[in-house]
Structure 1
């Protein structure tokens, strides 16, 4: 009886030990699986984060590239040169300017200055030189002086003037001067005749053989106009 009871106790103890080992093994497997799952989840999350970061970086680079390209296009397409702006300005006509004459320097008054003031209310481009005829007996225009031609087109804003120096004679006493109280001026590209009153109470003395005109310039004296 005692032996049977002893054997039963041993079997019970052995069963308990086996059960404990089984529970421990199951717990270890569960923990290992959980740890493996956590590790896999962490790795997947990191990979997803890297992919998201790469996508964001690529999007940012693409956005920056687009912005740079747009900026470059805008810069290259913006603005115009002075030459383009000048050529787009309409040419001045007789109706756009008021032309007057004044004596230049003192006796013997060999030069006058023509002033063309823009009265149009807008901008216009004054080209070439004034086409002047002093006398009815001389229908040829007064010759121009090439060295007085300005380097850039003369664009007049509203109210702005341009000037042309005009030589009347050499100032000699033996010249064949003729008195002139009024004369005609035409602008480049316009056949309209502008009547200009000669300066001075007695008008001006003109030698048709010596008369010369400079180009229109934005300054009163250009340096190149000295002739």
Structure 2
């Protein structure tokens, strides 16, 4: 009886051990399957890899676009450079290219005159410097220029466009030693022969001790053309 019980106990223990080992093995396989399952079935790594490839392609395209744009920008001419190039290539205006006229600025007393040079040719031309004016036969020297009136950029006139120059005739004083002028000559620097310009109204009263001229500009400017 004692031996039977011992055998029964040993068989039961052995069965329990075998069952435990089987369960442990099954549990290990299930755990391994669970651990491997998400890694095998989870689409996230593939999607992440796809995004990385797209980002790489986008980066390459962006670099190519920047390189292309940079080369185009480097080869392009800036507006300032283009304007300078056009100014340098435009021929100097001659008296055949422009019509010069004169008008009083204000008054009376008429102390200042405005010269207008209008491009009457069919092409652009460049006005250089200031008008070389001779008012009197007794004073053959040109009317002196005012340095502050000189513009920062060249004056290039397209067909039909005007440029202006302010001229001081006198200070308007009663006791000034002025002389009458009904016509005078204007020479364009580098532009050939002088042009004869008729004085406005009944004529000008000029004072050789006070006269002065500004440079050719696109428009009269406060400060630069105040003299």
- Same structural fold, with TM-score higher than 0.5 when normalized by the shorter chain: yes
**SS of alignment partner, residue 87 of structure 2:** helix
- Provide Cα deviations, 1:153-183, integer angstroms capped at 9, x if missing partner: 1111111111000000111112111110000
- Provide Cα deviations, 1:9-57, integer angstroms capped at 9, x if missing partner: xxxxxxxxxxxxxxxxxxxxxxxxxxxxxxxxxxxxxxxxxxxxxxxx9
Bigger Rg, which one: 1
CA contact (8 A) 1:148 1:222 kept: no
Instruction: Quote the Cα distance in structure 2 between the aligned partners of 1:172 and 1:187.
Output: 30
CA contact (8 A) 2:92 2:191 kept: no
Q: CA deviation at 1:88?
A: 2.0
Q: CA deviation at 1:111?
A: 0.6
Q: CA deviation at 1:75?
A: 2.1
Question: TM-score with structure 1 length normalisation?
Answer: 0.67
Paired residue for 2:126?
A: 125
Instruction: Quote the Cα distance in structure 1 between the aligned partners of 2:213 and 2:111.
Output: 12
**SS of alignment partner, residue 116 of structure 2:** strand
Paired residue for 1:74?
A: 72
Paired residue for 2:194?
A: 193
Q: CA deviation at 1:72?
A: 3.1
Query: Aligned-residue CA RMSD in angstroms?
Result: 2.2
Question: TM-score with structure 2 length normalisation?
Answer: 0.67
Paired residue for 1:52?
A: none
- Provide Cα deviations, 1:175-200, integer angstroms capped at 9, x if missing partner: 11111000000011123110000011
Q: CA deviation at 1:87?
A: 1.6
Instruction: Quote the Cα distance in structure 2 between the aligned partners of 1:135 and 1:106.
Output: 22
> What are the ranges of 5 or more consecutive residues in structure 2 without an aligned counterpart?
1-55
Kindly tell me the number of residue pairs found equivalent between the two proteins.
169
Equivalences for 1:151-162 in 2 at 5 Å? 151-162=152-163
